[in-house]
Amino acid sequence: MLPLLKLLQDGRFHSGEALGAALGVSRSAIWKQLQHLEAELALTIHKVRGRGYRLASPLHLLDQRALNARPAPPAWPVSVYSSVDSTNAEALRMLELRQVPPFVVLAERQTAGRGRRGRNWVSPFGENLYYSLVLRIDGGMRQVEGLSLVVGLALLHALRAAGVVGVGLKWPNDLLVNGRKIAGILLELSGNPEDICHVVIGIGVNVNMQAGGGVVIDQPWTSMRDALGGLVDRNELVCELSRQLCRYLDVHQRLGFGALMAEWEGHHLWQGRGVTLIAGSQQIKGVVLGVDSSGAIRLDVDGAERSFSGGELSLRLHDDS
C-alpha cells in the first residue's frame, strides 16, 4: 500500500489507469488498495469519476533513504516504520536485538503512542512527528539530570527554525504555542541506572494535524500547520531536530544542565507565574522561581523556596481549570 500512497501524497488527482500502470497492477487492485488505505490508516480519499483519486490533504511521507544520506551531522542511523505501537517501544526492542546506539526511530503512525503519566498520545498516519533517539549513558543516573529540559531547548529551537516563533517551554516536558500544546517529550531508561544504561528520548510534535479534523485530544492543542498556515515537510523537521539535539546534548554532556539553566528559564512560559503543583492527590500552590541544576522546579511556597522533581508531577496555572 505504501507505494500507492507515495504516488498519491502530492494531493493531486491520479487516474486508476495511471496508478495501475505505475505499480504494474490492475485498476481493480488499485481500488482494493485504496479501500485498505481508508480502512487501516483512516485516510480520506476523494474519488471523482473521470478524474480519478486524490488524498483529501497532501502528505509529506518520511524518506528513510534521504534521511540517512543527509550530508550534515549528526550521523545517527534512522529507521522509518509505517506503523508501530510506539517509537519508544520499538527503540527498546532494537536495543534488545543489539542495535548499537546512537540511533533514531521514526514512524508514520503509532497505534499505542504514549506520553507522561500514562497518557495516550494521538498519532494519526503521516501527519505528525514520532521520533525516538537512543543514547548510551556511562556513569549512572547523574548523567541524565536535566536531560528532558535540554531536549526541550533543542526542540524549541528546531520549531523556531521552522518558523514557529511563538513557541515556549512548560516544565517539565511540554512545548506550548498560545497556551496550547504543540509537542511533548518522554524519556525512558533501560539497563543499570548505577552504571551503563541507555536512555530513549521520545519526542512527539503535532506537525500537520489540524484542529477540526476529527482528532480528539483531552487538552488544548495546536500544530505547526495551524501556526504557520501551511504544510510542513517532516523530513526537514527531522534533520533540524537532530542537529539541535546534537548541539545541546554535547553541551549537556560536557558541562551539565547547569550551563543551560539560565537559557531554559529564559524560554519558560510560566516563569514568575502562580501555579499549582500536582503530585498524586497532593496539590501545592506557589510561584515559579525557576529550575535548579538538576532540572527540578523551584517554587516560592508561602515565602519559602522549595524544589520538586519526579516523573509523576504536573504543573498547572492557578487559573487553569
- Is residue 12 part of the annotated active site? The answer reads no
DSSP strand E in the chain: where? 45-48, 52-55, 78-81, 103-107, 129-137, 167-170, 174-177, 180-191, 197-205, 274-279, 282-291, 297-301, 304-308, 313-317
**Cα–Cα distance, 22 to 259 (Å, whole number):** 55
Phi, psi at residue 67, to the nearest 5°? Answer: -65, -35
Residue 174: is it exposed, middle or buried by C-beta count within 10 angstroms (0-12/13-18/19+)? buried
Set 27, 70, 119, 316: catalytic member: 316
Q: Is 51 a catalytic residue?
A: no
Contact (Cβ atoms closer than 8 angstroms) between residue 278 and residue 316 = yes
Taking the C-alpha atoms of residue 224 and residue 25, their distance in angstroms, rounded to an integer, is: 37
- Whether 199 and 253 have beta carbons less than 8 Å apart is answered as no
Note if 160 is an active site residue: no
Binding site listing for biotin = 86-88, 110, 114-116, 181
**CA count, 13 A, side-chain hemisphere, 81:** 20
Helix axes 147-161, 234-255, angle to 10 degrees: 140
Q: Using CA atoms, how far apart are residues 318 and 240, in angstroms rounded to an integer?
A: 35
Distances (CA, A) of 141 to 38, 186, 194, 196: 45, 16, 6, 9
Q: Select which of 181, 225, 234, 298 is catalytic.
A: 181
Which residue in 75, 64, 80, 55 sits closest to 5, CA to CA? Answer: 55
Q: What are phi and psi of 233, to 5 degrees?
A: -80, 110
Closest-CA residue to 183 (of 213, 216, 214, 148): 148
* Catalytic-role residue among 116, 170, 225, 243: 116
Distance CA 70, CA 77 (A): 10
- What amino acid occupies position 243? R
**Annotated active-site positions, please?**
116, 181, 316
